[in-house]
């Protein structure tokens, strides 16, 4: 058993991150390790105990358990543990116990802190968040609250167009907002003045209310810059108001965006918005894999990459809806097209089928339903032709079950909540991720609020939903670190979707349900749960960190496949990862398993 300094040095430099340290750093570091030999069954530390420092297993085995006594990891030689929390509150969030005689190398807290402070390789290894990708101030990364103009020019609806034109001329701007108090009622642009007033010969004392764009499209301050650009490209507008809680807080114009670029994704959106056929759209969406490569290579975070890719799918859907109405005539009653699944959560990657449904006004007749059946077929077939393949589970608006009046949808949700059998659990999981894409949004707003309230109050339904969410577990193997797929085409690989991303998606959905949180995006749900206090700040941030790591490794894997000329998938062989990535991926899975265990033990699981 190596205990001499030269043997200890040889052992450490055979593993990351110590192999990246120079001789001088190693000369300082190696003597600071304390060698501890523990018998089988010895406690290394218990939950809540102060962490002494970083532990490295030199020989033997150590079992890690969470707060519910569930084994979350079994560590062998060359594995490290105990670093999580060293720079936070310094208390252990798990317990560690030896299973056989074990030799541990202990690096005290002060030495560990110095290691990660003074050496970038160690900082990257022990905290992936410190290994941030190259930072760029680009449109895709920037929230529009950093881009918008807050010095707003406003007029009331009874002001004249001449007054509005004079104000715009005096301030050399191209638009003015029409408000009632702090509420946005409309927007008037120079194009409106020339096209609606001058061209039509209207008198200059015409009220702005006659020619303004009433109830204009707007975005919240939390939207990202590319949301603005995509909206401008698709809707052919040059001004986007920014509102929060109905209040006007800012304005973004094309001029505001000149120093920002999101050319690739915005270019696709612009081409799709002008496409005349599904075939034309297919030629555009065929470039999405290349977009994925560019976005990943450009250092964009996973939530930005998936948002931009989902924007393309949203635009394809809305364009197909417009083409359908042009072909079949205007809809006889109000309707709303919604996406669920990854599109609903704005989390699409390079692998996407379609999941969607139609809400139809209760006034619809049976003949009206036949119209919407034709519309749904046109849109779903068009999505399929554009690369968003028909859902294998038939969760599409072409299925009459998912093309119904609002009253029928209200009955669906009520039945799923009051009788949560396995099918109801599955359907509720899908339908709680609904997001409006095109049509009359108000058809869904009240139903969403009612459903969240009813679901959160039904403890039996919540318990069944929790049970259903725990069916997808992280691929942790007690002996070899990972439990890979054992047979078939993807043997010896990890399913980063169903065993990595989906468990976090499910946990976030439960927190949204319990907290009546309307957010649909997974990361937004976790942030909202932390803000609402239903998820602890530390536990929530750990879960977000774990989700971020898995999602980014998944996207990097898909981008590598595309570069090789292969189709992107979710199956990754651990051997394709560096030691650094394997170590942190394992830690991420441990966090998720711990959060699942806490959810399962603390919420009254059904027997």
Question: Within this chain, do residues 221 and 307 fall inside the same structural domain, yes or no?
Answer: no
Are residues 464 and 331 located together in one domain of the fold?
Answer: no
pLDDT digits (tens, 9 = 90+) for 296-331: 876 778 998 999 899 999 999 999 999 999 999 999
pLDDT digits (tens, 9 = 90+) for 529-544: 998 888 888 889 999 9
Among residues 98, 130, 162, which one ends one of the domains? 130
Asked if residue 412 is part of any domain, the answer here is: no
Is 356 part of a structural domain of the chain?
yes
Q: What's the mean pLDDT in 346-371? A: 93
3-class SS of residue 325:
helix
Q: pLDDT band at 422, cuts 50/70/90?
A: confident
Residue 11 falls inside a structural domain: yes
> What SS3 state is found at 442?
helix
Average pLDDT over every residue of 103-129: 78
Cα 525 to Cα 516, 520, 532, distances in angstroms: 10, 6, 10
What would the mean pLDDT of 413-431 be, rounded to a whole number? 88
- Of 407, 438, 470, which residue sits at a domain end? 407
Q: What is the CATH number of the domain that holds 161?
A: 3.10.580.10
**Closest listed residue to residue 376, CA positions, set 402, 351, 405, 415:** 402
How many domains does one find in the chain?
4
Domain boundary among 257, 290, 316: 257
For residues 278 and 389, membership in a common domain is answered with yes
pLDDT tens digits along 333-345? 999 999 999 999 9
Query: Domain check: are 513 and 544 in the same one?
Result: yes
Domain co-membership, 117 together with 166: no
> Are 103 and 151 found together in one domain?
no
- The residues, ordered by sequence, that sit 6+ positions from 452 with a Cβ below 8 Å of its Cβ are 512, 513, 516, 517, 518
Q: Encode pLDDT of 123-141 as tens digits.
A: 767 764 433 343 444 565 5
Tell me how many degrees the CA angle 110-113-115 measures, rounded to the nearest 5. Answer: 110
- 250 and 305 part of one domain: no
Q: What is the pLDDT of residue 377?
A: 97
**Is residue 401 situated within a structural domain?**
yes
Residues 481 and 586 in one domain: yes
Identify the residue with better confidence: 251 or 134.
251
The DSSP H or E segment spanning 552 is: helix 537-563
* pLDDT at residue 446 greater than cutoff 90: no
- Distances from the Cα of 536 to the Cαs of 125, 161, 394, 527, in angstroms? 25, 53, 38, 10
| Confidence label for 195 from pLDDT (cuts 50, 70 and 90) | confident
Task: Give the domain range for residue 230.
Answer: 143-257
Mean pLDDT of 155-180: 91
Count of alpha carbons within 13 angstroms of residue 276, beta-carbon side: 0
The answer on 367 and 388 residing in a single domain is yes
Question: What pLDDT does 84 receive?
Answer: 53
Rounded to 10 degrees, the C-alpha dihedral 447/526/299/132 comes to: 170
User: Residue 31 maps to which CATH number?
Assistant: 2.60.120.10
Question: 208-240: per-residue pLDDT in tens?
Answer: 999 999 989 899 988 887 788 888 888 888 889
Q: Tell me, yes or no, whether 95 and 153 share the same domain.
A: no
**Are 234 and 308 within one domain?**
no
Mean confidence (pLDDT) of the chain = 86
Residue 103 lies in a domain: yes
Q: Residues 6 or more apart from 386 whose CB is under 8 A from it?
A: 278, 281, 282, 285, 316, 320
- Domain membership flag for residue 230: yes
368 in Cβ contact with 328 (< 8 Å): no
Query: Quick check: is 417 in a domain?
Result: no
Task: Using pLDDT thresholds of 50, 70 and 90, give the confidence band for residue 353.
Answer: confident
Q: Is residue 280 part of a domain?
A: yes
Burial degree of 320 (CB within 10 A; 0-12, 13-18, 19+): buried
Q: Same domain for 60 and 164?
A: no
């Amino acid at each position: 058993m190596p205990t001499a300094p030269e043997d200890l040095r040889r052992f450490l430099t055979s593993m990351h991150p110590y192999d990246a340290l120079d001789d001088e750093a190693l000369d300082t570091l190696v003597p600071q390790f304390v060698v501890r030999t523990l018998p089988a069954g010895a406690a290394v530390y218990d939950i809540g105990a102060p962490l002494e420092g970083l532990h490295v297993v030199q020989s033997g085995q150590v079992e890690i358990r969470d707060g519910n006594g569930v084994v979350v990891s079994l560590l062998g030689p060359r594995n490290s543990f105990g670093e999580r929390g060293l720079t936070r509150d310094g208390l252990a969030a798990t317990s560690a116990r030896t299973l056989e005689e074990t030799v541990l190398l202990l690096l005290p807290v002060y030495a560990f802190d110095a290691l990660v402070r003074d050496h970038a390789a160690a900082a990257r290894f022990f905290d992936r968040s410190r290994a941030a990708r190259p930072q760029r101030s680009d449109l895709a990364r920037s929230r529009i609250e950093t881009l918008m103009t807050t010095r707003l020019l406003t007029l009331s609806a009874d002001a004249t167009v001449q007054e509005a034109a004079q104000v715009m001329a005096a301030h050399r701007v191209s638009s003015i907002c029409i408000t009632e108090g702090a509420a946005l009622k409309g927007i008037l642009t120079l194009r409106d003045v020339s096209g609606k007033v001058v061209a039509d010969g209207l008198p200059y004392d015409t009220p702005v209310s006659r020619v303004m764009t009433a109830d204009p499209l707007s975005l919240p301050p939390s939207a990202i810059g590319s949301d603005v650009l995509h909206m401008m490209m698709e809707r052919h507008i040059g001004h986007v108001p920014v509102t929060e809680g109905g209040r006007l807080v800012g304005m973004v114009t094309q001029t505001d965006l000149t120093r920002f670029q999101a050319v690739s994704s915005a270019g696709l959106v612009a081409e799709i918005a002008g496409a005349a056929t599904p075939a034309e759209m297919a030629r555009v969406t065929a470039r999405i894999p290349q977009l994925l490569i560019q976005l990943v290579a450009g250092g964009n975070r996973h939530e930005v990459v998936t948002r931009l890719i989902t924007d393309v799918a949203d635009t394809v859907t809305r364009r197909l809806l417009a083409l359908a109405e042009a072909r079949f005539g205007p809809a006889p009653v109000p309707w709303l097209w919604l996406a669920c699944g990854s599109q609903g959560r704005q989390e699409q990657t390079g692998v996407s089928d379609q999941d969607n449904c139609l809400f139809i006004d209760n006034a619809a007749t049976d003949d009206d339903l036949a119209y919407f059946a034709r519309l749904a077929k046109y849109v779903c077939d068009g999505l399929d032709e554009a690369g968003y393949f028909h859902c294998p589970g038939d969760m599409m608006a072409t299925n009459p079950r998912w093309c119904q009046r609002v009253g029928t949808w209200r009955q669906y949700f009520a039945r799923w909540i009051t009788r949560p059998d396995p099918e109801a659990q599955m359907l509720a999981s899908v339908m709680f991720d609904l997001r409006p894409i095109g049509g009359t949004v108000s058809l869904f707003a009240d139903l969403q609020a009612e459903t969240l309230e009813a679901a959160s109050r039904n403890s039996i339904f919540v318990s069944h939903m929790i049970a259903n969410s725990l069916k997808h577990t992280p691929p942790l193997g007690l002996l070899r670190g990972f439990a890979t797929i054992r047979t078939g085409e993807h043997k010896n690989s990890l399913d980063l979707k169903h065993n990595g991303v989906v468990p976090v998606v499910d946990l976030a959905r439960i927190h949204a349900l319990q907290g009546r949180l309307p957010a649909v995006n997974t990361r937004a749900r976790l942030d909202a749960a932390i803000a609402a206090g239903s998820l602890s700040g530390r536990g929530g941030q750990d879960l977000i960190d774990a989700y971020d790591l898995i999602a980014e490794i998944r996207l990097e894997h898909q981008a590598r496949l595309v570069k090789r000329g292969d189709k992107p998938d979710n199956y990754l062989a651990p051997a394709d990862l560096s030691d650094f990535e394997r170590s942190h991926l394992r830690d991420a899975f441990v966090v998720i398993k711990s959060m699942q265990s806490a959810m399962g033990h603390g919420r009254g699981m059904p027997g």
